[in-house]
Chains A and B, each alone.
Chain A
């Protein structure tokens, strides 16, 4: 495991309007995070980097229910973000669940 690692680097992509107002290139960023290596921690780091993101994904402090978090192609519910572990090189997509057609 990676318990001895100080940092891991992951790729984060922002879609479906979440990228709006964020200083990103190609709607994505590579980011190093320290422990705990969880989705929850990653989002907290991102919110500090991009204050606008917080406005886009939270309402009254809680994640909006239509936030879609995808880790390596697998959807996780915002409520599971705290425990969802991340590894070096993981690809995370943050987006809204949209209706589509």
Chain B
């Protein structure tokens, strides 16, 4: 048992090679250094994987962690974090999913789960409160995520259990396959589905009914919770915008300022953006809202395609990142097609961002004559060709024909193709770019470049520049902005509250609000300085992981398009981030972080952050 509240104090370890399942206590000194989810995921991944570990090999680990807020009365904190070395980037990867899986894991008595080794045959893990079992999953292998989930529920006669599952794409080790959680949420990024597939682990099913989660200071916690509920209730974005549109409001918002990735980022103004706007998607597709555990926001929606080729399909309504990746980025302006593409990804287990960006890359290769119909199994991969999009996606998921190549992701595809295609391979550290402009925000340029994951919008956030609070057109002081925002996002993912409410707690820098929350919930006695040190520790540990795997300054680089081609039109015309600007920002950022000029944390930094117990020098 931990002396701190809100934890179960236990970790489940499952060795798939030997079939041995053990429980371990979480140590209080580790909690004091890393708190939860993101912190603990980074700690265990660094500590337990050898340098140069093969992401799809037996020695890689797949780590699941909840945060201290998960399963408590705190609103909008449902996330489960999943950690591993990525087959897409060969670096540190964390991806988070909402739903109820995280809370259920805690109700079953565990803060986290470490999966190691590799099963000889397909299995699934059944966590039934305190009883843990590895079950044969041979009959589910090859099935879609929904088919698998429903079949497991039926076979166990447990209709209400929570399940994380991979689809055929994960089984076939597609580089950007994902893990679908509770059917409606994805731990999408970085190919964690392939890591799970490589272990022959089809699913994890959880029933948690026995364990209750206690908070340290009920009175203070209630005060915080009530105030947060009131803020959510009176905030139009959270109380009206997200329940009506999900995150798709960003489509027109970005287009109106000329920063909506279009046709593989050749431009950032999409002439048909109105057709895929939040209003159009709501009008054409919306059916009903869904909620994650203890979340009043309800940003997830079911939809039904009511017209056209895919009429009658009931599925999840796409969110903004998917509207960007399959919509404007591929030149597609039909919401029904975007919903169908989203459905293919959810069912086969593919990351919609990497899939869309990879197909947009193929479309630009086709446009430039680098790839022809005969290279693409007869597919005429023109921008705007809806059938080509769906056909390519299905081939990627099945790893069939040209799909095997597209499933490698843009970095490897461009390395194999040559012919200057690296200039428009839109990835950072191998991870395809999310739907927030590099060229349109100087701070995002730096944030993307130094993000441990690469092209993720969840380490650096665009809103402080987007709102006008910080000038998005200048590099001045952006090293500090990135430092401060990344401190809050790593603490967000460590506490495990959702990005949708991060604005209510604080986006730029840590504050008393963060401290009050964690102290009231867990019983820590942190101050802001303590919390900053923890954020710095986790960020540095992730950096050390990447350095250990061979990354350094050379990998803190942007796609060449964004460093050489200004945005050609629209309100942000002329903006880009030349290499010299990026270098200037990197120099300042490295200095601020205590890293050398090559982006490697200094020995002194490692010592000051008390990381020298697990980070050995030279890294």
Contact = CB atoms under 8 A, between A and B. Distances in A.
A66 B534 CA distance: 29
B378 interface: no
B467 interface: yes
Given A100-B321, A100-B436, A101-B250, A93 B237 contact: no
B468 A75 contact: yes
A22 interface: no
Nearest to B500: A99
Contacts, number: 116
A40 interface: no
A50 to B, nearest CB: 15
Given A15-B253, A64-B236, A75 B278 contact: no
Nearest to A70: B257
Interface string A57-101: 001000010101110111111001000000000000101111111
B467 A95 contact: no
B467 A98 contact: no
A59 B463 contact: no
Contact of A97 (B258, B463, B572): B463
A56 interface: yes
A38 B202 CA distance: 60
A66 B436 contact: no
Interface in B416-451: 434-436
Given A59-B234, A101-B247, A75 B467 contact: yes
Contacts of B502: 99
A79 B37 CA distance: 37
Contact of A75 (B235, B250, B257): B257
Interface string A24-63: 0011000000000000000000000000000010010000
A100 B247 contact: yes
Contacts of A72: 571
B533 interface: no
A66 B241 CA distance: 12
B279 A27 contact: yes
**Interface size class for chain A?**
20 to 34
A90 to B, nearest CB: 12
Given A101-B321, A101-B434, A15 B240 contact: no
B346 interface: no
B10 interface: no
Interface in B198-230: none
Interface string B322-349: 0010000000000000000000000000
A15 B466 contact: no
B253 A95 contact: yes
Counting chain B CB atoms within 10 Å of each CB, which of A17, A19, A68, A98 scores highest?
A: A98
Interface in B438-485: 457, 462-463, 465-469, 472
A97 B256 contact: no
Contacts of B242: 98
A22 B321 CA distance: 28
Contacts of B319: 101
Contacts of A80: 468
A85 to B, nearest CB: 16
Nearest to A16: B249
Nearest to A95: B253
Contacts of B249: 15-17, 95-96, 98, 100
Counting chain B CB atoms within 10 Å of each CB, which of A19, A59, A64, A95 scores highest?
A: A95
A2 interface: no
B235 A66 contact: yes
Interface in B246-278: 247, 249-250, 252-254, 256-258, 274, 278
A99 B278 contact: no
B457 A101 contact: yes
A70 B255 CA distance: 12
Nearest to B324: A101
Given A77-B469, A80-B468, A93 B236 contact: no
B466 to A, nearest CB: 6
A100 B250 contact: yes
A98 B251 CA distance: 10
A83 B570 CA distance: 25
B95 interface: no
Counting chain B CB atoms within 10 Å of each CB, which of A15, A27, A72 scores highest?
A: A15
Contacts of A66: 235-237, 467, 503
Contacts of A19: 279
A96 B463 CA distance: 11
Nearest to A97: B467
A28 B235 CA distance: 23
B244 interface: yes
Interface string B496-507: 000110110000
B237 A17 contact: yes
A73 B258 contact: yes
B237 A96 contact: yes
Interface string B264-301: 00000000001000110000000000000000000000
B140 interface: no
A45 B466 CA distance: 25
The 6 A-B pairs of least Cβ separation, nearest first, read: A73-B571, A100-B250, A75-B468, A16-B249, A101-B321, A17-B241
Given A75-B468, A99-B250, 4 more contacts: A15-B249, A17-B249, A98-B241, A100-B457
23 contacts: A16-B253, A16-B278, A17-B241, A17-B244, A19-B279, A20-B240, A56-B236, A64-B235, A66-B236, A68-B466, A70-B571, A75-B468, A77-B469, A80-B468, A96-B249, A97-B253, A98-B247, A98-B320, A99-B250, A99-B499, A99-B502, A100-B254, A101-B434
Interface of A: 13, 15-17, 19-20, 26-27, 56, 59, 64, 66, 68-70, 72-77, 80, 93, 95-101
